[in-house]
């Protein structure tokens, strides 16, 4: 057994809460053994995406999705090829590693597959770029102003229109 499995957990296991208690954080006091420490979340800093060829994927993400090169932030000591791209306040980390996922047979609609979601202030320029590059996409089935597409390695990406961006 690996040493990592011998390290005791940082937080003792909690007993299972009834749904009514779990859905009401106000009912959990700091002195309760069931209390979960309050976490203050920010944004998702980055999403890692597996690709077969870093340079091909990087050119695609920059040309089709309009993402910016952020490689100056990538640690050169990482033991695999990759690239960092800027998507607003977040990053996409392209990682040239074997993917456990099949490239074929994925759902046509990316919303029914694992995906990364990114907000944009206007979908129209993205739609024009996808059409110009002959890339298929589907609109959100929920009626939101969002679309799903796939990169060259079949990774699904959702773009959500948010005019406050």
Whether 66 is covered by a domain: the verdict is: yes
Quote the pLDDT of residue 77: 96
Quote the pLDDT of residue 113: 94
Q: CATH number of the domain that 115 lies in?
A: 3.10.180.10
Here the tokens at position 88 are 């607003």
* Overall pTM surpassing 0.85 (yes/no): no
The boundaries of the domain holding residue 53 are 46-99+106-161
Sign of the four-CA dihedral 7, 12, 16, 21: negative
DSSP 124: H
Here the tokens at position 66 are 């309009």
Q: What Å distances lie between residue 132 and 65, 126, 128, 136, 155, CA to CA?
A: 12, 10, 6, 11, 20
Distance CA 130, CA 132 (A): 6
Quote the pLDDT of residue 31: 59
Whether 14 is covered by a domain: the verdict is: no
Nearest alpha-carbon partner for 122 in 80, 164, 73: 164
β-pair type (146-150, 137-139): antiparallel
Quote the pLDDT of residue 14: 44
Quote the pLDDT of residue 30: 53
Whether 68 is covered by a domain: the verdict is: yes
Q: Along the 165 residues of the chain, how does pLDDT read in single tens digits? A: 444 434 344 444 444 444 444 444 444 445 566 777 788 888 899 999 999 999 999 999 999 999 999 999 999 999 999 999 999 999 999 999 999 988 888 998 999 999 999 999 999 999 999 999 999 999 999 999 999 999 999 999 999 999 987
Whether 136 is covered by a domain: the verdict is: yes
Q: What Å distances lie between residue 49 and 20, 87, 126, 156, 162, CA to CA?
A: 37, 13, 20, 10, 23
How many residues does the structure list for the chain?
165
Whether 62 is covered by a domain: the verdict is: yes
Quote the pLDDT of residue 15: 46
Quote the pLDDT of residue 104: 87
Split into its structural domains, the chain has a count of 1
């Amino acid at each position: 057994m690996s040493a990592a499995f011998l390290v005791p957990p940082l937080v003792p296991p909690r007993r299972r809460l009834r749904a009514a208690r779990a859905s009401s954080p106000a009912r959990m006091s700091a002195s309760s053994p069931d209390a979960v420490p309050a976490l203050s979340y920010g944004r998702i800093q980055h999403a890692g995406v597996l690709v077969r060829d870093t340079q091909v994927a990087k050119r695609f993400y920059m040309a089709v999705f309009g993402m910016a090169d952020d490689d100056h932030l990538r640690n050169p000591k990482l033991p695999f090829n990759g690239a960092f791209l800027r998507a607003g306040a977040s990053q996409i980390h392209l990682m040239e590693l074997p993917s456990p996922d099949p490239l074929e047979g994925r759902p046509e609609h990316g919303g029914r597959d694992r995906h990364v979601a990114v907000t944009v202030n206007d979908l129209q320029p993205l739609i024009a770029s996808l059409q110009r590059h002959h890339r298929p996409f589907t609109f959100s089935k929920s009626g939101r102003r969002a679309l799903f597409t796939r990169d060259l390695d079949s990774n699904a990406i959702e773009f959500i229109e948010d005019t406050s961006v």
